[in-house]
Amino acid sequence: MCGGRGTRLGLDREKPLVEVGGRPLVDRVAAALASSSIDRSHAVTSPHAPETRKHVSRPTIDAPGDGYVSDLQYALERIDSPVVTVTADLPLLTGATIDAVVDSFEGNSMTACVPAALKRRLGVRVDTTMPGDGQQLAPTGVNVIAAGDGDRQVVFEDPRLAVNVNYPRDALVAEGLLRSGVVG
């Protein structure tokens, strides 16, 4: 999912093209997908991200740009399930991390979550939480969508899933973690 404007970042470029560690966010996520067990991927773009559409080198699905949920639904209607969805704002993501999420798939849709406390410890913003597993959880932007009923939350204690770049401070935290070698 790489059709965002990045308005919360307050920059003059599209969010997927924001650089962390000298590379655009979308390129970092594409590299993680390429090194995972996922055999094919699509970039879901929107009219809000025309430069991202030109930049990506994989097949694209051009969603209408009606918001994340609407654009995700639009894409899901065009791809057979199960589908792994990944937002383009996860600069620390690795193929091994994606594979850990995929390995947790048990047939029904699942949301990969991290403890909200982990995001706070890392110093990144927590925008959305939900109760689960005896603590507040934050969705990571990585999901497995499958046909049928049920959706479960799977909790990961992994900073690679905890850092979404939505605000300038989030990008600084990601840069710091990459430089320190804590992740990367």
**Domain boundaries, position 66:** 7-178
How remote is the C-alpha of 103 from its chain's centroid?
A: 17
Instruction: Convert the pLDDT of each residue in 69-89 to its tens digit.
Output: 888 889 889 998 899 999 999
Q: What is the pLDDT of residue 101?
A: 96
Please choose, from the candidates 45, 146, 30, 179, the residue with its C-alpha nearest in 3D space to the C-alpha of residue 90. Answer: 30
- Sign of the torsion formed by the C-alpha atoms of 90, 1, 46 and 54: positive
Count of domains observed in the chain: 1
Separation CA 118–CA 81 (nearest Å): 31
- Whether 183 maps to a domain, the answer reads no
Instruction: Convert the pLDDT of each residue in 103-159 to its tens digit.
Output: 999 988 999 999 999 999 999 999 999 998 799 999 999 999 998 766 889 999 999
**What predicted TM-score, i.e. pTM, was given to this entire model?**
0.89
- Whether 184 maps to a domain, the answer reads no
Please choose, from the candidates 82, 97, 176, 107, the residue with its C-alpha nearest in 3D space to the C-alpha of residue 141. Answer: 97
- Whether 141 maps to a domain, the answer reads yes
Give the range among 7-11, 32-36, 71-75, 178-182 with minimum mean pLDDT: 7-11
Check: CB of residue 32 under 8 Å from CB of residue 41.
no
- Whether 12 maps to a domain, the answer reads yes
CATH of the domain at 61: 3.90.550.10
> Given the structure tokens 């990144």, which residue do they identify?
124
